[in-house]
Amino acid sequence: MSVTHFIEAYKGRPPWDIGRPQPAFEGLADAGEIVGPVLDAGCGTGENALFLAARGFEVVGVDAVEAAVEAARRKALARGLKAELLVHDALALEGLGRRFATVIDSGLFHTFGDRERRRFVRSLAAALSLGGHYYVLCFSERELREGGPRRVTQAELRAVFDHPPFRVLSIEAAEMAANLDGEGRKAWLARIERVANR
């Protein structure tokens, strides 16, 4: 999907902007799986990043849509939370000039076409520390309702990430909360580790 699509979406309230963190990331934090510093790739209006900031993590959130980042900054100010929220392309994370112990992705990966997926792997490798973890929440092919982004299969996740410099640790059925009809959408939550420097 093009950046233009998301710029238009943020002129209203997009379905993924639920006004709270995704339960999958709350669960990861509660289980002690999140380690700082944290990068929220495709942070939108910042709910996941600000949830983690409220838990005391050092957090950077990036999104390509200026309106989304501005909304996230307003929320951070209103809540008295410290998080670095930047307009930045998730396909060029090397431009941040730093590495993170954890990268979270709520609905970013499933927006990429095949060529963008390859670029994202390189981008992610530039931002994730050795031994660090990437947690991706993406639409699953089990979601049969019409509309929304490209569905992702477990096999696709493994084809993209289950080889150096990454390793897939687990892929489990999850739900992606949405503001559409009171129901979430079927998703995968994948745990991926950076295992090599190449």
**Residue ranges covered by each domain of the chain:** 3-141+177-194
H or E stretch at 100: strand 100-106
Express each pLDDT in 39-84 by its tens digit.
999 999 999 999 999 999 999 999 999 999 999 999 999 999 999 9
What sign for the dihedral angle of Cα 44, 53, 124, 134?
negative
At residue 147, the pLDDT reads: 75
| Number of residues that this document lists for the chain | 198
Write the CB contacts of 15 (distance below 8 Å, at least 6 apart in sequence). 148, 178, 179, 180
User: What are the residues facing 186 on neighbouring strands?
Assistant: 175
pTM of the model: 0.92
What sign for the dihedral angle of Cα 46, 47, 49, 54?
positive
At residue 29, the pLDDT reads: 97
Q: How confident is the model at residue 160 (pLDDT cuts 50, 70, 90)?
A: very high
For 19, list phi and psi in degrees, rounded to 5. 75, 15
| Paired sense of beta strands 185-194 and 166-176, if any | antiparallel
Whole-Å CA distances, 145 to 7, 30, 31, 94, 114: 24, 30, 31, 36, 23
Return the number of other C-beta atoms located less than 10 Å from residue 189's C-beta: 21
Write the CB contacts of 139 (distance below 8 Å, at least 6 apart in sequence). 107, 110, 148, 149, 150, 151, 152, 176, 185, 186, 187
At residue 19, the pLDDT reads: 80
Options 3.40.50.460, 1.10.10.10, 3.40.50.2300, 3.40.50.150; CATH of 3-141+177-194: 3.40.50.150
As a whole number, mean pLDDT of residues 121-142 equals: 96
As a whole number, mean pLDDT of residues 119-148 equals: 92
- Best-predicted range by mean pLDDT among 11-25, 54-68, 136-150? 54-68
